[in-house]
Chain A
Amino acid sequence: MAKPLAGIRVLDFTNAVAGPTATSILGDFGADVIKIEGPDTRHLNPPGAAPPKPGAPDEPWNRVIHFNDLNRGKRGVVLDLRRAEGRALFLELAKVSDAVVENFSPRVMANLGLGYPDLCRVRPDIILVSMPAFGKSGPYKDRISYGPGIDAMSGLSHLTGYEDGPPSKPGNFYCDQNAAQLAALSLLAAVRHRRRTGEGQYVECAMIEGELQIVAEALLDVQMNGRVQTRTGNRHPWQAPHGVYRCEGNRDEGIGNSGDEQRGGAGRGVLGRPQQAVSDDEWIAIGVETDAQFAALCHEMGRSELAADVRFADALSRHANQDALDAIITEWTSHENKHALQRRLQAAGVPAGAVLNVRELLEDEHVLARDAFQDVTYPDLMRPFPHTRVAFKLRGRHASRIDMPAPRFGGANRPVLGGLLGLSQEMLDALHTSGITAEAPVAAQGAGV
């Protein structure tokens, strides 16, 4: 059966996280994604390279973990867009593509002569999806920022954190994956519109505007009540108990802690980092929604009397007295294993889940049963690469298999420029000789895109 997006070709001229993620989603469902890189855009000796398989070529740039994760399933072409021949080939590729996706700051595409009007000249019904941080207009249009900086400007960082602590990052970043999904969704909608009308269009996916959608409660509270919401840790506006509780420590696992490391430790491990044992990062999340669940929790704690305690008898009282309640629960969970406790509380109908670290996540029975990651074999790597899949399955089609690893640097130069554009062997050789294309990154200083 054809994959859902078979027949859609996307020219991917993106970097960092948001853009590559958007196009990788499309690739997972069968779009032909052609990834364009400059001759110097992958580090020659990247710090985040996975260990090689014995006998693999000495090409660390083909083992960059972040790059490979976000670019699986794409075909890789290297073009020097600082040169006219490179730009001409880009336009030739645009001519045979349904959509172009880019996420550079607004001036870059126009300066290269690859803006929307330029693309329309070679393909009038092209769809261009741009993913600027702040948009192509307005006072911040020329600002530069990565994902965490946009999380800061949306209000999400201010709103995330401990009650008594500073603004915090949600994970590493939030707006990148958020914008990626919005861009992929919009691209599909634009493709549908073109199928019906023949009309292409320009899609502007300003990352900050995608993120305003998910802080709306706080924005409306300012208008409705003059209230400036702030950080409340893991607490819920009206439910209690609602938080994470310390569990029995498991000191045998040898967890590497980037926190200590980045505070000045000397690195030696595979990524320049020793493994360190972190004890005591064992927690269970418990979030009680109803009185019945609270009674069940009290029963499991062997403290059934608490369900009738005036301090905790209903949600309002529990919320008002949650410091005391949290102390009681912690006293109990501190001696329990988080995994066993999760099973036991869930069996009793109490919402509870272990806080999994990323290794535990990869081994979690539910994650395995749901195929939340798909292992893909890379020729250069010791181990299979677990690619994160989207959070939905098409149950009738089983359609989101990742068919190819991420491209080797310039790995599809010849199949794409020769096969798709029909360039002769001699022309391909000439492009290689003149450095318009490359199969290994060149060391260049700062210039270009």
Chain B
Amino acid sequence: MPGALEGIRVVELAGGRSVAYCTKLLAGLGAAVVKVEPPAGDDCRRSGPFPGDVPNPEASGLFLHLNTGKHGVTLNIEQAAGRALLLELLAETDVLVEGFRPGVLDSLGLGYEALSERLPALVLVSITPFGQDGPYAHYAGGELIAHALSGYMSITGDPQREPLKPYSTQIEFQAGLQGALGAGVALAAREQDGHGDWVDVSAMEAATFLLGGPAQIAALTDEVRVRNGTRLIGLPPRYFYPSTLRPCRDGYVHAHTNIRHPDLMAALMEQPRLAEPDLLEAPAAHADEIDALMDEWLAWHDREEAVRLAQELRVPFTEVFRPDDVLADPHHAARGAFVELDHPVAGTLRQPGPAVRLSATPWRVTRAPLLGEHNAEVWGRWRTPAELARLRALGAI
């Protein structure tokens, strides 16, 4: 079956996580993606995990995940011969995705103005920590700094301790997702008038997009909500509770009340106090008391049991899973949420499958390319084997 983006040709100028994730998503939807790596390889090849903890650019778990569904070539675009070859490829490209600092593409003669003059239908997606303009456009730093400035750290963590950023590089992933969405919007616009566009993605704004309400509350009411530990923030005293993470006998659960039927908590835990009027009138104001009552019950229940009993009553508790729990989850097995991919160097791995399932145009996942794996196939369309050998000798591919 075809992909939903069948016929859309995407080129990624490799360099880091956000651009790789962006084009992984487009490839999943059926676009034909050529990943152009510098001869030394994408930086992601140097990030773990590695099998046996032995660094190997062909076996980086991060790289294998972020580059499913793509063709891979190498090219040194700092050399004129490399740029000439890139321009041949771009003449047959719909979307170019890059993550260089603002101005770098311009300095190579590949900025949006130069490209759009030659290729007016091209969509250029540029993903940077702070966007193409504004006072911080040329700031140093990435994930951590963008996180701090986005406001998201102020709402993550314990109020008595330092602000936190979430696991790994969530903002780079979110910036990649925003870039894929931006490409989708720009392609829709192109269908109206034939013109490409320059999609300017800011990772900092990708994090601001995640805030979910506190900024609006601050603007409209002067109340500045800050992080609230494991509890949902921004709930006035009369609002629902619990929505928090609590320890149970063998781990943790996410405890959440049924918002329409808050009295079900009392039935679940056989704690009449949880259904008394003063408590139900202002649950969030009784959060400490509710935690203590829940903890009594949770101390006697395993994670799976607590969640099962709660869900049977339509109280939306869930397990706090560890990564090994997630891999072993029968739900994911039943749905095929992981796909087994064979890789010549890394071996067979279960990798995340479809991010979204489209019934007529299924999501695509095939293993990530080796460094320069498709050089002959892709570059061979414009250069003879002898010319490619010369480019290789020059270090251009």
Contacts and interface: CB of A to CB of B under 8 A. Distances in A.
A65 B332 CA distance: 36
Interface in B321-355: 321-327, 329-332, 334-335, 337-338, 346, 349-355
Nearest to A129: B356
A165 B158 contact: yes
Interface stretch (A238-246, A310-318, A407-415): A238-246
A346 B140 contact: yes
A404 interface: no
A253 to B, nearest CB: 8
Given A155-B322, A355-B148, A358-B215, A350 B140 contact: yes
A31 B232 CA distance: 32
B256 interface: yes
Interface string A270-296: 111101001001011101010001000
Given A158-B323, A220-B65, A388-B208, A283 B162 contact: yes
Interface stretch (A54-62, A256-264, A424-432, A434-442): A256-264
Contact of B49 (A140, A205, A221): A221
Contacts of A367: 208
B323 A229 contact: yes
Interface stretch (A43-51, A84-92, A301-309): A43-51
Nearest to A361: B151
Contacts of A158: 252, 320-323
Nearest to A176: B212
A353 interface: yes
A193 B349 CA distance: 31
Interface string B125-141: 10000111111100111
Given A171-B212, A399-B185, 9 more contacts: A66-B213, A149-B256, A156-B167, A184-B181, A189-B358, A204-B359, A215-B168, A220-B349, A394-B198
Given A222-B323, A228-B323, A361-B215, A181 B181 contact: yes
A115 interface: no
A192 interface: yes
Interface stretch (B72-80, B311-319, B385-393): B311-319
B366 interface: no
Interface in A99-150: 134-135, 137-140, 143-146, 148-150
Contacts of B164: 160-162, 168, 233-234
A406 B72 CA distance: 45
B350 A195 contact: no
A190 B4 contact: yes
Given A2-B192, A152-B254, A265-B285, A192 B4 contact: yes
B115 interface: no
B178 interface: yes
A202 interface: yes
A263 B287 contact: yes
A266 B236 CA distance: 10
7 contacts: A139-B330, A171-B156, A196-B6, A216-B352, A244-B153, A289-B141, A353-B136
B358 A215 contact: no
A258 B228 contact: yes
B188 interface: yes
Contacts of B51: 224-225
B53 to A, nearest CB: 6
A365 B149 CA distance: 11
A134 B335 CA distance: 10
B199 interface: yes
B133 A205 contact: no
A211 B215 CA distance: 24
A183 B216 CA distance: 24
A234 to B, nearest CB: 6
A389 to B, nearest CB: 8
A44 to B, nearest CB: 13
B177 interface: yes
A198 to B, nearest CB: 11
Nearest to B348: A223
B227 interface: yes
A144 B261 contact: no
Given A217-B168, A265-B285, A366-B149, A204 B356 contact: yes
A171 B211 contact: yes
A203 B202 CA distance: 28
Most central of A159, A212, A275 by chain B CB within 10 Å: A212
A137 B192 contact: no
A125 to B, nearest CB: 10
Nearest to A16: B259
B361 interface: yes
A392 B52 contact: no
Contact of B355 (A48, A139, A190, A210): A210
B239 interface: yes
A341 B154 CA distance: 18
Contact of B139 (A135, A202, A346): A346
Contact of A392 (B53, B178, B253): B178
A152 B226 CA distance: 21
A17 interface: yes
4 interchain residue pairs of minimum CB distance? A351-B141, A220-B61, A259-B159, A4-B189
A237 to B, nearest CB: 7
B349 to A, nearest CB: 6
B146 to A, nearest CB: 7
A369 B145 contact: no
Which residue among A243, A261, A362 has the maximum number of chain B CB atoms within 10 Å of its CB?
A261
Given A269-B223, A358-B151, A365-B135, A221 B48 contact: yes
A172 B337 CA distance: 25
B45 to A, nearest CB: 14
Contacts of B185: 4-5, 29, 188, 392, 394, 399
Contact of A51 (B48, B125, B221): B221
A366 B230 CA distance: 30
Contacts of B50: 224
